[in-house]
Amino acid sequence: MTDLSFWTQSPPAPSQARINSARQRQDSLTKPPGSLGQLESLAIALCGQLDTEKPAVDRVQITVFAADHGVCDEQISAFPQSVTGQMIANFAAGGAAISVLSAALGAELDVVNLGSIGPLAEMPGVINHRIAAGTANLAREPAMSEAQLVAALAAGDQAAQRAADRGAQLFIGGEMGIGNTTTAAALACALLGAAPTDLTGPGTGLSKQQVTHKTAVVERALARHGDNQDPFAVLASLGGFEIAGLAGAFLGCASRGIPVLVDGFIASVAALVACRQQPALRPWLHFAHRSCEPGHSRVLDALEANPLLDLSMRLGEGSGAAVAVPLLRLACALHNGMASFAEAGVSEGS
């Protein structure tokens, strides 16, 4: 196989000393211990990840990876494949949901084109890492070659490096690729040993009958793939360039000490692949929301993830993660700004 040794390096663990002192501080603040629930654990984890006493997520990097999927030949999406390229232009022009959310948060937004079928336009505001005009049809043949997998992982790692160069305190990975709920379902089935009926859903809005057809396509892909569970072999066989980009970015962020806020079904499947490759990634991940796509809950369970929000969202692009950023900011504000029992002269419990 092409050189994948870079991704076998274990990310460092978040600082245990910072985690211990942050937990002590939370227990000293003027509230019953534990009463701020997940906001407490969020702040504590961020102290360890950012190696600081006073965490902040003012500087947020959002990177959307886009690519097309050969499996669209099987009629598995409610939308035409051309929408991927059209949405790349929409991201760059500021009209997509993630563009608006990113601007509202004051975040940096990068759009990385890893392989849309559309013309290779020199679109201003789009980073071009075009690997091919989409993946091969994974129901019939491996989605990508090893060299293509390495290129996609490397593009993700470069995105993590740009985040580090900008001093990002949080990374959100978004995706755009018509057909990628089929790809993500196939990946998750292969890694979890799950049945396609459990993980295949409507995506952009298929009818029940169309979902049955999509499930049969996932079944064919799994039969072709076989039982190899090596995470990167599964990714090359059943993945997408944007999902591999996300996996590379998540691993690259953890190795550079940047916490990651994971979006919906597709991003969580990328996180699952990356965690199977490198379990030390898991402590760097926060999970933003539970998507409506039915396979998401199963993937979250496999990652032992308890997402912050459940807003009936099913968009992708990093949108659910962007919506959760204010919660992380508020968790930091509480951690940094509340008075302790001693400072406020409030009596502690027994």
Ligand X SMILES: Cc1cc2ncn([C@H]3O[C@H](COP(=O)(O)O)[C@@H](O)[C@H]3O)c2cc1C
Ligand Y SMILES: O=C(O)c1cccnc1
Residue 175 as a binder of ligand X (CB under 6 A): the answer is yes
Longest Cα–Cα distance of the chain, Å, equals 69
Quick one: 77 or 268, whose CB is closer to ligand X? 77
Is position 178 an interface residue for ligand X (rule: CB under 6 A)? yes
Q: Does 179 bind ligand X (CB under 6 A)?
A: yes
How far lies 19's CA from each of 16, 28, 55, 192, 283, in Å?
Answer: 5, 14, 11, 31, 12
User: Which CB, 55 or 316, lies closer to ligand X?
Assistant: 316
Residue of 65, 187, 291, 324 interacting with ligand Y (CB under 6 A): 291
* AA letter at 261: L
Candidates 49, 61, 63, 77; binder of ligand X (CB under 6 A) is 77
Stretch that binds ligand Y, among 79-87, 148-156, 211-219, 290-298 (CB under 6 A): 290-298
Residue 11 is encoded by which pair of tokens? 């990310």
Instruction: Find the binder of ligand X among 118, 240, 259, 316 (CB under 6 A).
Output: 316
Name which position in 171, 232, 241, 265 contacts ligand Y (CB under 6 A): 265
- Using a 10 angstrom Cβ sphere, with 0-12 exposed, 13-18 middle and 19 or more buried, the burial of residue 329 is middle
Residue with tokens 């390229």: 85
CB of 320 to ligand Y, least distance (A): 7
Residue 124, Cβ neighbours under 10 Å: how many?
Answer: 7
And the tokens for 66? 């886009």
> Do 114 and 98 form a contact (C-beta atoms < 8 A)?
no
Q: Which does 341 bind (CB under 5 to 8 A by kind): ligand X, ligand Y, none?
A: none
> Of these, 102, 182, 255, 277, which contacts ligand X (CB under 6 A)?
182
Q: Which stretch binds ligand Y (CB under 6 A): 141-149, 222-230, 251-259, 260-268?
A: 260-268
Among 14, 118, 240, 264, interactor with ligand Y by CB under 6 A: 264
Q: Active-site residue 317, yes or no?
A: yes
Q: Taking Cα atoms as reference points, which of 127, 252, 276 lies closest to residue 192?
A: 276
Q: Quick check: 317 binds ligand X (CB under 6 A)? A: yes
Q: How far apart are CA 284 and CA 12, in angstroms?
A: 10
**Does 68 participate in binding ligand Y (rule CB under 6 A)?**
no
> Does 177 engage in binding with ligand X (CB under 6 A)?
yes
DSSP string, 40-76: HHHHHHHHHHHT-SS----SEEEEEEEE--GGGGG--
DSSP secondary structure letter of residue 318:
T
Residues acting as catalytic residues: 317
Q: Which residues bind ligand Y (CB under 6 A)?
A: 181, 203-204, 263-266, 291, 293, 296, 314-316
Interface residues with ligand X (CB under 6 A)?
Answer: 77-79, 83, 87, 175-182, 203-204, 315-317
